[in-house]
Amino acid sequence: MTRHLGKSVGIIGTGQHYPERTISNHDLSEYLDTDDEWIRSRTGISNRRVADPGTGASELGVPALLQALQNAKVEPNEIDAIIVATVTPDTLFPSTACRIQEKIGATKAFGFDLSAACSGFVFALTTGASMIASGSYQKVAIVGVDIMSSIINPEDRTTAVLFGDGAGAVILSEVAPTFGILDFEQRIDGSGADSLFMSAGGSKRPASLETVKNKEHFAVQLGQDVYKNAVVAMSEYARLMLDRNGLTSDDLKLFIPHQANSRIIEAAAKRLGITEDKVMINIDQFANTTAATIPTAIHQAYQSQRIAKGDHVILTAFGAGYTYGSVLMKWVY
C-alpha cells in the first residue's frame, strides 16, 4: 500500500554547514594503526570535517538552516515547526531544536529532537511532511546534524576512520499536485540494538567515574553485522518504492543513500540495478555524518544540477536500532 500523505508536500529549500577543520586519512595514520589505502579501500573515505571541542550541534545546525531558509525564500518567523534529527544534541535537555529556534528567531515555531541515528533525517522528513499534510502546519524545518567526533574514541580504528561532523537542512511546504514526497516506508528493529550503540550516558548507565574510565561514552560498532543488514534493508526498501509506484531504475534520476560506507552504497545500488552515474556519493570528502549525510547530499546534488524539477529521487537510510527506510520524491524546483 502506497503511503499517500493526502496532500503534496515537498522540499522547497536546502542548506548545509561543515566545520572548517579537515582531517585526512594521512592525519589519522599518524596515531592510528592504519593508512590512506586501507581506509579508502574499505570505506571510500579520504577526508572528514571535525568540529572544535566544545562545539554544540546547534552551532552547525543554525547556519545550515539559515541557508535553507534563504534558498526557500522563507523568513524564520514563517516556520511553524523545527525537527532536529541528531544523536549528539547540545544537551539531553533542553532540545537542540529549542536552541536553534531561539538563535534564528523562529518566534512561531514549536519543535523537538528526533533520535534515529543515521535514519534520523528520513524519519524527521516524513514526520514533518505528515504534519503539513494534516493541515495544521504550513512550513516545517528539518535539520539533520551530528558532531560524531564528540562520541568517537580516537583510538578505535573501527570507528575513528568512519565518522565526521556536519549539518544539513531542508524546508518543507505544500507543493503542486504530483510533486514532493510520493511514498515512503520505514521500520525499526530492536534486535540490532547491540550492533551499534553507546553503552553509557542514559538512564540505565548514567555517567560516573567508572563509565568514563571504561570509555563507555563512545560509539561501538560491530561492522560486519551492520554491513550485512544495511545492504539488505537499504536496497529492499528502495526497491519497494520503485515497485509500489510502477517505476524502474531507468525512471530514477538519482539514488541518495545514507553515506555509511562506499562498499555498502555500491552493494545496495548493484542489488537495485542502479548505474554509478545515478548514485549520489559525498562520503569521500565528508565521511559518515550520521543524520546529516542525506540532507547535505540533497543540497549538493541540487547545487551541482544533478536533480531538477520533475526528477524522481529515492532517499534510503539505515542506522543504529536498527532503523531504516526509504522515501520516493518528485523534485519540486
Please give the pLDDT value at position 276.
Answer: 95
- DSSP characters over 143-191: EEEEEGGGSS-TT-HHHHTTB-EEEEEEEEEE-STT-EEEEEEEEE-GG
Please give the pLDDT value at position 263.
Answer: 96
Closest by alpha carbon to 291, among 151, 175, 193? Answer: 151
Grid cell digits, residue 320: 543504529
109 and 166, same domain (yes or no): yes
CB 17 within 8 A of CB 60: yes
pTM (two decimals): 0.97
State the residue range of the domain holding 245. Answer: 181-330
293 and 188, same domain (yes or no): yes
**Domain presence at residue 94:** yes
**What is the domain-level CATH number for residue 24?**
3.40.47.10
Please give the pLDDT value at position 1.
Answer: 67
190 and 160, same domain (yes or no): no
Strand order across the 110-114 sheet: 9-17, 165-174, 139-147, 81-85, 110-114
CB 92 within 8 A of CB 297: no
Please give the pLDDT value at position 295.
Answer: 99
What gap in Å lies between CA 307 and CA 24, rounded to an integer?
Answer: 29
- DSSP class of residue 220? E
216 and 299, same domain (yes or no): yes
19 and 95, same domain (yes or no): yes
Q: What is the pLDDT along the chain (333 residues), one digit of tens a residue?
A: 678 788 999 999 999 999 999 999 999 999 999 999 999 999 999 999 999 999 999 999 999 999 999 999 999 999 999 999 999 999 999 999 999 999 999 999 999 999 999 999 999 999 999 999 999 999 999 999 999 999 999 999 999 999 999 999 999 999 999 999 999 999 999 999 999 999 999 999 999 999 999 999 999 999 899 999 999 999 999 999 999 999 999 999 999 999 999 999 999 999 999 999 999 999 999 999 999 999 999 999 999 999 999 999 999 999 999 999 999 999 999
185 and 322, same domain (yes or no): yes
What gap in Å lies between CA 255 and CA 275, rounded to an integer?
Answer: 10
Alpha-helical (H) ranges within the chain are 25-28, 36-43, 57-72, 96-104, 120-133, 157-160, 209-213, 223-244, 262-272, 283-286, 293-303
**Domain presence at residue 325:** yes
Residues labelled as active-site residues: 118, 258, 288
50 and 144, same domain (yes or no): yes
SS3 labels along 221-244: ECHHHHHHHHHHHHHHHHHHHHHH
What gap in Å lies between CA 32 and CA 14, rounded to an integer?
Answer: 36
Angle at 113 between CA 282 and CA 141, to 5 degrees: 65
Q: Which of 130, 150, 178 is the last residue of a domain?
A: 178
**Domain presence at residue 190:** yes
Structural domains in the chain (count): 2
53 and 166, same domain (yes or no): yes
Q: Which of 178, 195, 223 is the last residue of a domain?
A: 178
SS3 113: strand
What letters, b where the CB count within 10 A reaches 16 and e where it falls short, cover 19-51? Answer: beeebebeebbeebeeeeeebeeebbbbbbbbb
**Domain presence at residue 2:** no
Do you know the residue count of the chain?
333
Closest by alpha carbon to 279, among 303, 306, 261, 299? Answer: 306
202 and 252, same domain (yes or no): yes
Please give the pLDDT value at position 16.
Answer: 99
**Domain presence at residue 227:** yes
**Domain presence at residue 3:** no
Number of other residues whose CB lies within 10 A of the CB of residue 291: 35
Sign of CA dihedral 232, 238, 241, 247: negative
Q: Which of 178, 212, 241 is the last residue of a domain?
A: 178
32 and 21, same domain (yes or no): yes
198 and 121, same domain (yes or no): no
Beta 139-147 vs 81-85: how paired, if at all? parallel
156 and 187, same domain (yes or no): no
CB 76 within 8 A of CB 46: no
